[in-house]
Amino acid sequence: MPSTLLLSDLHLSPQQALLTRGFETFCAGPARQAGGVYILGDLFDYWLGDDQLREPYYQDIARHLAGVAEAGVPVFLQHGNRDFLIGERFAHEARITLLPDPHVLDLHGVRTVLTHGDALCTDDADYQAARRFWRTPTRIRQYLALPYFLRRWVAWCFRRRSRSKVQNKPEYQTDVNRDAVAACLLEHDADRMIHGHTHRPAICRFEVHGRERERIVLPDWRTGGPYLEMSETGHRILDSER
């Protein structure tokens, strides 16, 4: 059975030429040999709405994803905290399937929860409150009704403020909460969780209710183009740039 590839936190933008080339290499090479590709959020550094496809850069990203699908490999995408406004128009252009968060599947014989991970950072009360506020259908409609240039300005302001806040927060607040992880695994009767968001790659094994569980944190794309390859024989982190 072909391997499954998982990645997250690419934060692609026109200003990130090296990361973009790594993504193009991934789509042209490893992705086309896989049985499936799962992107667990923050494909983009920001997403203002599907009319962002008016920009040639984002048309190109959609085209590269569509090329993977045309090669016979299904591509799945979860929303991240930076690109939760990705909608059906982008999904159609890129020929991807949008997944709910969390999403549960049998991944090479192990019941696995896939999630971006930000909802598990429950120690950061301010972030969780803002997340609930901005993800309501009413707020989303109000934001998308703004002119494109104004949405871009609002997104820039939020990114700038977010970077400043994160720098001043204790480390435990920007990481997942262990009890939240355990509760999610129990709710879905899963033995493995894979997520991104925290930019702290790790493989953790721990016991929950008498069963050993596993949590895999995907690396971000600040350097290179890392992705997780999973198969029936195990898993490993590879890099599309090496």
Consecutive H or E run containing 143:
helix 137-144
Q: What is the mean pLDDT of the chain?
A: 94
Domain CATH for 201: 3.60.21.10
User: What does the pLDDT read at residue 162?
Assistant: 73
**What is the band of 174 on the pLDDT scale with cuts at 50, 70, 90?**
confident
**What is the band of 131 on the pLDDT scale with cuts at 50, 70, 90?**
very high
Does the residue 86 lie in any domain?
A: yes
Q: Is the pLDDT of residue 159 over 90?
A: no
Q: Is the pLDDT of residue 201 over 90?
A: yes
Q: Is the pLDDT of residue 168 over 70?
A: no
Burial of 187 (C-beta count, 10 Å sphere; 0-12/13-18/19+): exposed
Q: Which residues are CB-neighbours of 63 under 8 A, at least 6 positions away?
A: 94
Q: Are 168 and 157 in contact (CB under 8 A)?
A: no
Query: What total number of domains does the chain contain?
Result: 1
Does the residue 148 lie in any domain?
A: no
Does the residue 182 lie in any domain?
A: yes
**Radius of gyration of the CA atoms of the chain, in A:** 18
Amino acid code (one letter) for 203:
I
What is the rounded average pLDDT of the residues 145-160? 90
Does the residue 147 lie in any domain?
A: no
Does the residue 111 lie in any domain?
A: yes
Which domain, by its residues, includes 42?
Answer: 4-118+178-239
Q: Is the pLDDT of residue 242 over 90?
A: no
Does the residue 113 lie in any domain?
A: yes
**What is the band of 147 on the pLDDT scale with cuts at 50, 70, 90?**
very high
Does the residue 204 lie in any domain?
A: yes
Q: Is the pLDDT of residue 164 over 70?
A: no
Does the residue 165 lie in any domain?
A: no
